[in-house]
Amino acid sequence: MTKPTAAVVGGGIIGTAVARELLHSGAASAVTLFEKEAELSFHQTGHNSGVVHAGLYYEPGGLKATLCRRGVGLLRELAARHDVPFDVCGKVVVARDAVELERLRVILARAVANGVPGVRMIDREELGALEPHATGIAALHSPTTAITDYRRVTLALAEDFTAAGGTLLLNHPVAELVETGAGVRVESGGTAAHFGLVINCTGLQSDRLAGRSGDGREPRIVPFFGAYMLLRPERRHLVNGLIYPVPDPRYPFLGVHLTKRIDGEVMVGPNAFLAGGREAYRGLQFSPRDLADVAGFPGFWRFAAGNVPAAFREGRTVLSKRAFVDAARAYVPELGVADVVPGRRGIRAQAMKADGSLVDDFVITGSRRILHVRNAPSPGATSAMAIAEHIVRQAAERMAV
């Protein structure tokens, strides 16, 4: 079978990894990567916390668990080859009461089943030895959880891609994908190029490009922002690694935690609230089109009606710096309002169904020649190269039919 020429749309970490994998696996004879911005990893990837997840939470045997564990290994190898910083700083998931302790035991069982190295329960004293300023009745310790710089990871992937003969086109927004009898026409900047295979990895805009290309809009992307605070330099000693809460199944988002960053900063956050736009990274930014899109989507209102307590909790942290810090003080009591300064914010491309439920797994739709990556949730960055392998296999299977 003749290998197709291929295009990937979207230069975040997953799109760049997919473009690289198409060449390295030999699935395509030539590959072009389209990115609308002047640089790679401008959107979700460039606003990532940098955590390299070990695979604690995911259903054993499921796709997220499998791809996360393989992705960690691939990521670590890439980082070593390209001198990308990679710090195995460890993580504690802290239980504050008996209810959280029972949830933590369930997480431990999953982590062990997923093959997470060295993961174990620790008591209050051991927690104090690892994180002297943290408080809790017990914790789960994941010693191999790490941090890295996902912008630099993406650039390393791009370096491999171009070295293998790939073509990178920055400042090339793609308006539409049109399947023809001979292949796929990619409309970009008033010009058209033709390929045998196209993979849409546009993240925050994935449902729109899919819709314009005849695949439908659902699941719909609803943008949620996550704002961070930063510890002042003289207070960074309060956190040695990563201090996380036990996930509460009543809430759709994890809640505020404390995260050491690869550049030495320590982040507090994020909260989670409806964003003013899909690319609204500053506080007062908003997009009338994006807000109208959310307001006109019945699934959002069903989600909102079912999550009033969560909206109230998160809304308090948006409106009040003290409420934001208080959420973190539950784990590090010495933390005060004066110890933090505003940090950056990211936008989460949350896929949502018409019934208001959040999509928590990978969603790939499309046809024989066009694949739309509709959802690549956390641990998407950690798993990027393993996700790329999975997507390229799916593409090859579709093309073979």
What is the pTM assigned to this prediction?
0.96
Residues 46-84: b if buried by 16+ CB within 10 A, e if exposed: bbbbbbbbbbbbbeeeeebbbbbbbbbebbbebbeeeeb
Lowest mean pLDDT among 5-9, 71-75, 281-285: 281-285
**Share of residues in the chain with pLDDT > 70 (%):** 100
Residue 34: predicted pLDDT: 98
* Residue 217 pLDDT exceeds 90: no
pLDDT tens column, 316-375:
999 899 999 999 999 999 999 999 999 999 999 999 999 999 998 889 999 999 999 999
Structural domains of the chain ordered from first start: 5-47+151-219+360-400 (3.50.50.60), 87-145+221-352 (3.30.9.10)
* Residue 1 pLDDT exceeds 70: no
Residue 165: predicted pLDDT: 98
**Share of residues in the chain with pLDDT > 90 (%):** 89
Residue with tokens 């699934």: 299
Contact by Cβ (8 Å): 136, 94: yes
* Residue 401 pLDDT exceeds 80: no
CA-based nearest residue to 167, from 8, 21, 12: 8
C-alpha to C-alpha distance for 236 and 334, rounded to whole angstroms: 12
Q: Which of residues 283 and 196 earns the better pLDDT score?
A: 196
Residue 362: predicted pLDDT: 86
Residue with tokens 């989670």: 272
Helices 150-163/13-24 angle, 10° precision: 30
Q: What is the pLDDT averaged over residues 176-199?
A: 94
Q: What is the pLDDT averaged over residues 155-162?
A: 98
Residue 361: predicted pLDDT: 86
Geometric angle at alpha carbon 236, from 234 and 237, rounded to 5°: 95
* Residue 79 pLDDT exceeds 90: yes
3-state helix, strand, coil in the chain (%, to 5): 35, 25, 40
What is the chain's mean pLDDT, rounded?
95
* Residue 255 pLDDT exceeds 70: yes
